[in-house]
Amino acid sequence: MTSIPTGDFSQVVTATRVHRSLYTDPDLFELEMTRIWGQAWIFIGHESQVPNTGDYFTTNINHNIPVVMVRDKSGSVQVLHNRCGHKGAKVVEARSGNARGAFRCSYHGWSYRHDGSLLKVPNEAGYEGTGFDSTNPCYSMQPLAQVESYRGFVFATLSPYAPDLQTWMGGARDCFDNLCDRAPEGEVEVAGGVLRYEHQCNWKFILENLNDTMHPMVVHESIVKAAESYLEALPEDAVEQRKEAEIIPPFGASYEKFEASGITGFPFGHHYDGGKTSIHADYSVDPDYHAAMVAAYGEERTREIYAFNTHNVLFYPSLTIKCAVQNIRVIRPISVDRFIVETWSFRLKGAPDSMLQRTLLYSRLINSAMGMVGPDDLEVYRRAQEGLASPSNEWVEFHRQYGKDEQREDRTVGGGTSDLDMRTQYQAWQAYMEGSIFNEVENA
């Protein structure tokens, strides 16, 4: 049992629809921040962002709780509440940097070791005989309830009741393996900076859109047509030089092609589309990269790694990754109708620079606020946000292929154009909101 009160949310979520208030009600948003973002494992950052002792990276774990990821002197990566044990001031303000020796609060100069423990209180004599106990953890920068990493990806949760990270990831964990295995050295590192993109709509729209394969041929028709019509006019050898020619047109893939990619859902709201194939499956393979892969893994294993080809993978609710592209998007809600998406790109260790360059080209073309794809996605989310103010229909539906979802051992599988991804995430939404989400683990 968690300490969060239970409630009945079947009035707003059913097997095939959700109530429009999920997108518009500020009170419901506040509850989501406590019950979903306050319980789930939330992606914080990657270990490669803090390579040396004292290196730190700051973020919020939900819409407003500040945390800092830091490497301590033992080499472990900690995630601490970014709050001074004294008056509560945020201790670390910069987005990233190195705190040599200790963190120091700008207000009264209390200082903290990299593991968050209190190092020094200035002029401490004044506390003598007052009952103040400097060893009480409440006066430290406290660690999050649980912190774990998987292949360098650091997650934290505010809940002491969440199952361990790998149990929570379930079968979707394969996607982290695939992303890292695509590096000849088996590891990835953050490279090439970040894009931050403000979205003026509810945070759930982007999660719903990731594996909504009924939208690309509609929303992205214009850019696909624009790219194809111009590229057709260019000489063939000129087109072969253009990586854009591989990246943009697949967004216009047919219903049949998306149907064939399939969708796979997991407990706790995670899902991906693709697996055997995806819109990233036909990218050309750089010969130098291929040679490095074969040298590292052998021909057969290399083919196996390439063959697992997913489009978008969602670790509900905070992270989506693209294994075949090597970028990730990190979601952070701000209010009921506003959130930020950060796009981070990864270098495959041991791969030629051309691989990172393609990743960055993809992030720039697709995920930038000046991109060819992202602004059209955001436009339709905003129209949904505005349209849902209408009381004409209280519900948003997701019936596609309902009843055909096939339950296998640890996962649910269905057609690539089904709404299985919606059903998967709203089952988790309901269980988080009702406080029963982690009971499933005990019962499993």
Partner 1 sequence: MNRERIEEFLYREADLLDRPDLDSWMNLFAESGTYWMPATEDQKDPINHISHVYDDRVMMEIRRRNFIHPRASSKEWEARCSHVIGNIRLLPEVGEDVITVTSNQHVVVWYRDEQRLYACRVTHRLQTDGEGFKILGKRVDLINPEAPQQSLIIYL
Contact footprint for partner 1 (CB under 8 A): 95, 192-198, 200, 218-219, 221-223, 225-227, 229-231, 234, 242, 244, 248, 340, 343, 345, 353, 356-357, 360, 363-364, 368-370, 372, 374-376, 378-380, 382-383
Specify whether the CB–CB gap between 189 and 46 falls below 8 A: yes
CB of 436 to partner 1, least distance (A): 35
In the bound state with partner 1, the residue whose beta carbon lies nearer, of 15 and 370, is 370
Specify whether the CB–CB gap between 416 and 273 falls below 8 A: yes
CA-based nearest residue to 188, from 44, 322, 366, 330: 322
In the bound state with partner 1, the residue whose beta carbon lies nearer, of 212 and 434, is 212
Residues 6+ apart with CB under 8 A from 71: 47, 50, 51, 52, 53, 54, 55, 56, 77, 78, 114
Specify whether the CB–CB gap between 420 and 217 falls below 8 A: no
Q: Parallel, antiparallel, or unpaired for β 42-46 and 77-81?
A: unpaired
Rounded Cα distance between 417 and 370, Å, is: 28
CB of 370 to partner 1, least distance (A): 4
In the bound state with partner 1, the residue whose beta carbon lies nearer, of 383 and 399, is 383
In the bound state with partner 1, the residue whose beta carbon lies nearer, of 194 and 307, is 194
In the bound state with partner 1, the residue whose beta carbon lies nearer, of 162 and 351, is 351
CB of 42 to partner 1, least distance (A): 18
- DSSP single-letter state for residue 143: B
CB of 380 to partner 1, least distance (A): 6
CB of 352 to partner 1, least distance (A): 12
- Rounded to the nearest angstrom, the gap between the alpha carbon of residue 435 and the centroid of all alpha carbons in its chain is 22
In the bound state with partner 1, the residue whose beta carbon lies nearer, of 348 and 420, is 348
CB of 65 to partner 1, least distance (A): 18
In the bound state with partner 1, the residue whose beta carbon lies nearer, of 1 and 234, is 234
CB of 206 to partner 1, least distance (A): 13
Neighbours of 87 (CB within 10 A): 10
Residues 6+ apart with CB under 8 A from 14: none
